[in-house]
Chain A
Amino acid sequence: MMENSELIFAILFQFTQLLLVVLAAPLLTGWVNQCQAWLQNRSGAGVLQPYRVLHKLFNKDAVIAYNASPLFRATPYIVFGCMWLAAAIIPILAVDLPFSRAADVIALVGVFAVARVFIALAAMDIGTAFGTLGARREMLVSFLAEPALLMVLFTASMISHSTQLPSIVDTLAHHQFVIYPSLAFAALAFVIVLLAENARIPVDNPNTHLELTMIHEAMILEYSARHLALIEWASSLKLFAYISLGIALFVPHGIAEVGNWAGLPLALLALVGKLILAGAGLALLETVSAKMRIFRAPEFLGTAFLLAVLGLLIHFLLGA
């Protein structure tokens, strides 16, 4: 059990992270977009563009369809709240986050699922052709991506004998540097899941409104102004959460130990470096690959699921 002063610090730290992730998430999205622009020989809008878009959207009047139910209006807040929480419980700077005790990795997957189910339901609420199409496709992508993510997390839990994110990260970060073969498979699967769940190429394309291909955008077509802003912000938070989850699971080195406040600046530096690299990597991956047909997506995600299960099996067989 922690002592009182430590607990207060931990709670303080939790709130700092809460604030940090929500403010920094759009920056990461801006950085990925900027990298993409550079890779495609465009000058780009700058890394601060997502903030400008959010500000513009918040200022507008919300336009809502006549037949929208309260579910439709509540969903942006639910989705935003879930994603914010998800990003706030993943240890990125230090491992002592008190709220992580309330929600372990399985609950983390549950939080993502809550957001997904609500956004799919809201997409069906107005009753447009695109809305239901988007909801159907989103659920199609997720029914393979979610178990794959769960298997990835299970592999990490098996290694660290815990489903608590702080314990997992603590074990993986302060272990002597060994390469776990099971984690290698898990990492591959995780990248595929990350692309699929964040509506990225090759599964989805966040930059088009072409009805043949869109998934995420089809679901949020009816949203405008502050509702749209919250959903866009939630998407940024989701990307941030996924990337920081990837960092926490596969390259946690440099994270501050429990109670080591002096290590924080170094940890922050390491985190920023990793985020910059990960964002650039994501942009590169998206630039060199092409969007695939919607019915190729299940095969793609099936591969991720199999890879993740393989990783878990390897852990059981080799114990590593």
Chain B
Amino acid sequence: MANGVILLWVVLGLAGLWVNDATRWIFPLGALASLFLAAAGLVALSAAPQTLVLPLGLPDLPFHLRLDALSAFFLILLGTASAGVSLFGSGYFRHLDDKTLRLLCLEYHLFLAGMALVMLADDAYMFMVAWEVMALSSYFLVTTDHAIPDIRKAGFLYLLIAHVGAIAILLSFGVMQGGHGIGAYTFDAMRAAPLTSFWASAAFLLALFGFGAKAGVLPLHVWLPEAHPAAPSPVSALMSGVMLKTAIYGILRVTFDLLGTQLWWWGVLALGLGLATAIFGVMFAAVQADMKRLLAYSSIENIGLLLAGIGLTLIFHVYDKDTLAALALIATLYHSLNHAMFKSLLFVGTGSILHATGERNMGRMGGLIRKMPWAAWLMLVGVLAISGLPPLNGFVSEWLLLQAFLLSPGLPNDYINMLVPVAAAVVALAAALAAYVMVKFYGVIFLGQPREAALEHAHDAGRWERLGMGWLALLCVLLGLAPVFVVRQLDQVAQMLLGTQLGNAANNWVFLTPMDIERASYSPLYFLLAVLGVMLLTSLLVRRLYHGRVRRSAPWDCGFPAQNARMQDTAEGFGQPIRRIFQPFFSIEREVPTPFDTHPRYHGKSEDRLWVILYQPLQHLTEKLSSLAGLLQHGRIHLYLTYTFATLVVLLLFV
């Protein structure tokens, strides 16, 4: 069925080229296909792996497809998230002009099909083809508004890093097939190929680099905060919510499935890199003023947490603590799923805001909860979920990850034993900072007074947009309230990759108990019922014993007579403490007006130091090398003929 869905997407995309109004039919149908894909994934999760050989591609190199538990899980993720995004897109893309819309419809559905194929590929050739389909279609989607120079620049940066990463992935596959010739390009052959620990490490590092470039792991993250804001919001949602997860899928596939042996320092490396990425991402998210850039940096943070989870899984797996490894893996997978839901929700929500206000700078918004209540309340769910608050889904995965850290003592390596509590502290710090970022995001955009007069005309999200956001918000709630069901499904993936499962988590459907009841348990359902019950009781009692009278008046604000919307914190203002505390990490450029300026203008920019330290030297080096190569080019045909001749002579000498 999964193959059918992919085919349907391709057909829908092509149909979009001919159909007059693609948004009305194609996108809702695409969403329906997404739901079928998720259902197919759910069925396949506990079934035996299915394989399929397609006689396509090059002669003697057919495409291999395989649907096992790991693929099935990521197909569920893709299906559920893209269903919401496509529904949203059905409303969102209506304003586009006809030509752009036709192209976009094709690219969008090819992007979806590409991601699904990446998850199903069972040989290196198929994988790279699907990977390229995904990268190229998303490149064209990012540059939908290609008339704007900044967007073209962002698109180029994205394409460049995506391809540097793709080369590393290809090399990693090359190492893994172990020099057994062209027939050994299937994943099955790679699983069977014996690798020394040196070559296994080389393959792992190449894969980490390649997939890390796609995921936005430090220091390969630079494209992410540029490309995500440039793309139309539903595309940003898919890129952030789903495409980054294909990289997580890739790392898991290579590390636990294709490579037969794992080494402990891989885990430490992944853990360290992941934590650095998480802190970096959330720190930068806190100082952003552009709402989509803020979300992009927050995605970097979440990818960091996922990588840290993979690192922890590796460490436990290498030291044969398989139940713990299963716990860490399940926490990682759970968080991937959660992030797909709430990040997609928030990204599509920014689309509605963008349409309503024409503004991406949060400092020029405010009070939108009164103008667009649907978008505001649905996004509140996403904001609470991403802040890791119970009883929503973000908390469950955070809880599972912290449990994995807490259960870790007793590893045979002293250094790792010391590292683990520090790592847990960093995870806790990142989670707490995420709440800071999200209060800023929601408070500055939706609450308070409107900071611009133009916001008076803001309109709420349309019907399809509400439907899409509602679906994603509903999943955030359900994934938060039914963790036992989800963990039971994820156990299948743990069984496949690690050969163990948590098992006893399934004992009781209300209480999530990863180990045993005396150790830890959590019941979001009881929690929610208790809080709601207490709230209801309080409100009834207050009204019964006293009264419920309300008077409306002007805000009090300590009695200050002159107050206006400009006195609220802007986005920069709210992030100022973070900028001040973590000053060494930012390169700050500020222009502060003096009190005597007749036209005071404030301008502040906090940039990434890595850009200066790492990328600019690299850029200079590349330019220098290419200018050296330029010495060979004179534009005269007889010189080029001489080069050709010389090359031929040299080659003949070798042969």
**What distance in Å separates the Cβ of B210 from its nearest Cβ neighbour in chain A?**
33
The residue in chain A whose Cβ has the minimal distance to the Cβ of B516 is A162
Residues of B within 8 A of A162 (CB): 518-520
Does the CB pair A106–B447 fall under 8 Å? no
Does the CB pair A58–B546 fall under 8 Å? yes
Confirm or deny: A185 has a beta carbon within 8 angstroms of a beta carbon on chain B. no
Residues facing B in A165-220 (CB within 8 A) are 167, 209, 211
Tell me the bound Cα distance from A108 to B649 in angstroms: 77
Residues 492-514 of B, flagged 1 when their CB comes within 8 A of A and 0 if not, give 00000000000000000001000
Does the CB pair A230–B538 fall under 8 Å? yes
Residues of A within 8 A of B548 (CB): 226
**What distance in Å separates the Cβ of B433 from its nearest Cβ neighbour in chain A?**
5
Residues 121-158 of A, flagged 1 when their CB comes within 8 A of B and 0 if not, give 10011111111110111011011101100110010011
Residues facing A in B156-182 (CB within 8 A) are none
Does the CB pair B577–A140 fall under 8 Å? yes
Query: A102-B522, A129-B567, A226-B546 are known contacts. Are A71 and B421 too (CB-CB below 8 A)?
Result: no
Contact partner of B558 (CB less than 8 A), chosen from A103, A121, A125, A209, is A209
Does the CB pair A62–B443 fall under 8 Å? no
Does the CB pair B552–A64 fall under 8 Å? yes
Does the CB pair B511–A132 fall under 8 Å? no
**What distance in Å separates the Cβ of A302 from its nearest Cβ neighbour in chain B?**
9
Contact partner of A309 (CB less than 8 A), chosen from B380, B421, B534, is B421
When A and B form their complex, what is the total count of cross-chain residue pairs whose Cβ atoms lie within 8 Å?
263
Residues facing B in A33-92 (CB within 8 A) are 58-59, 61-67, 69, 71, 77-78, 80-82, 84-85
Residues of A within 8 A of B387 (CB): 113, 117
Query: A71-B447, A113-B388 are known contacts. Are A135 and B439 too (CB-CB below 8 A)?
Result: yes
**What distance in Å separates the Cβ of B632 from its nearest Cβ neighbour in chain A?**
56
Does the CB pair B535–A81 fall under 8 Å? yes
**What distance in Å separates the Cβ of A41 from its nearest Cβ neighbour in chain B?**
30
User: Interface-forming stretch among B78-86, B269-277, B366-374?
Assistant: B366-374
Range for the number of chain B residues in contact with chain A: 35 or more
Confirm or deny: A163 has a beta carbon within 8 angstroms of a beta carbon on chain B. yes
Confirm or deny: A232 has a beta carbon within 8 angstroms of a beta carbon on chain B. no
Residues facing A in B520-577 (CB within 8 A) are 520-523, 526-527, 530-532, 534-535, 538-539, 542, 545-558, 560, 563, 565, 567-569, 573-574, 576-577
Confirm or deny: B338 has a beta carbon within 8 angstroms of a beta carbon on chain A. no
Q: Is the interface of B mostly helix, strand, loop or mixed?
A: helix
**What distance in Å separates the Cβ of A270 from its nearest Cβ neighbour in chain B?**
25
Confirm or deny: B395 has a beta carbon within 8 angstroms of a beta carbon on chain A. yes
Does the CB pair B521–A104 fall under 8 Å? yes
User: Interface-forming stretch among B185-193, B313-321, B424-432, B603-611?
Assistant: B424-432
**What distance in Å separates the Cβ of A314 from its nearest Cβ neighbour in chain B?**
10
Tell me the bound Cα distance from A95 to B605 in angstroms: 53
User: Interface-forming stretch among B16-24, B324-332, B402-410, B612-620?
Assistant: B402-410
Does the CB pair A143–B436 fall under 8 Å? yes
Residues of B within 8 A of A240 (CB): none
Residues of A within 8 A of B565 (CB): 127
Does the CB pair B545–A58 fall under 8 Å? yes
Residues of B within 8 A of A147 (CB): 425, 428-429, 431-432
Contact partner of B569 (CB less than 8 A), chosen from A132, A143, A313, is A132
Confirm or deny: A298 has a beta carbon within 8 angstroms of a beta carbon on chain B. yes
Confirm or deny: A114 has a beta carbon within 8 angstroms of a beta carbon on chain B. yes
Residues of B within 8 A of A99 (CB): 526, 530
Confirm or deny: A312 has a beta carbon within 8 angstroms of a beta carbon on chain B. yes
Query: A150-B428, A164-B519, A221-B557 are known contacts. Are A64 and B538 too (CB-CB below 8 A)?
Result: no
Confirm or deny: A107 has a beta carbon within 8 angstroms of a beta carbon on chain B. yes
Tell me the bound Cα distance from A295 to B551 in angstroms: 38
Contact partner of B518 (CB less than 8 A), chosen from A139, A167, A319, is A167
**What distance in Å separates the Cβ of A300 from its nearest Cβ neighbour in chain B?**
12
Confirm or deny: A101 has a beta carbon within 8 angstroms of a beta carbon on chain B. yes
Confirm or deny: A31 has a beta carbon within 8 angstroms of a beta carbon on chain B. no
Residues of A within 8 A of B443 (CB): 120-121, 124, 132, 135
Does the CB pair B389–A127 fall under 8 Å? no
Does the CB pair B557–A107 fall under 8 Å? no
Confirm or deny: A161 has a beta carbon within 8 angstroms of a beta carbon on chain B. yes
Confirm or deny: A246 has a beta carbon within 8 angstroms of a beta carbon on chain B. no
Tell me the bound Cα distance from A129 to B574 in angstroms: 12
Does the CB pair A110–B395 fall under 8 Å? yes
Tell me the bound Cα distance from A157 to B404 in angstroms: 13
Q: 26 A-B Cβ contacts within 8 A?
A: A63-B551, A67-B370, A69-B447, A81-B534, A102-B511, A102-B522, A104-B521, A110-B388, A113-B432, A114-B390, A121-B443, A124-B439, A124-B444, A125-B447, A131-B448, A132-B448, A132-B569, A136-B569, A137-B577, A147-B425, A151-B425, A226-B546, A295-B580, A298-B581, A313-B421, A313-B422
A residues with CB within 8 A of B = 58-59, 61-67, 69, 71, 77-78, 80-82, 84-85, 99, 101-104, 106-107, 110-111, 113-114, 116-117, 120-121, 124-133, 135-137, 139-140, 142-144, 146-147, 150-151, 154, 157-158, 161-164, 167, 209, 211, 221-222, 224, 226, 230, 295, 298, 305, 308-309, 312-313, 315-317, 319
Sample of 14 more A-B contacts, CB < 8 Å, known A113-B432, A222-B557, A309-B421: A58-B545, A63-B551, A63-B553, A66-B552, A67-B555, A102-B530, A129-B560, A147-B429, A151-B425, A164-B519, A298-B577, A309-B425, A312-B421, A316-B420
- 5 residue pairs, one from A and one from B, having the closest CB atoms: A127-B448, A127-B449, A147-B428, A124-B443, A129-B567
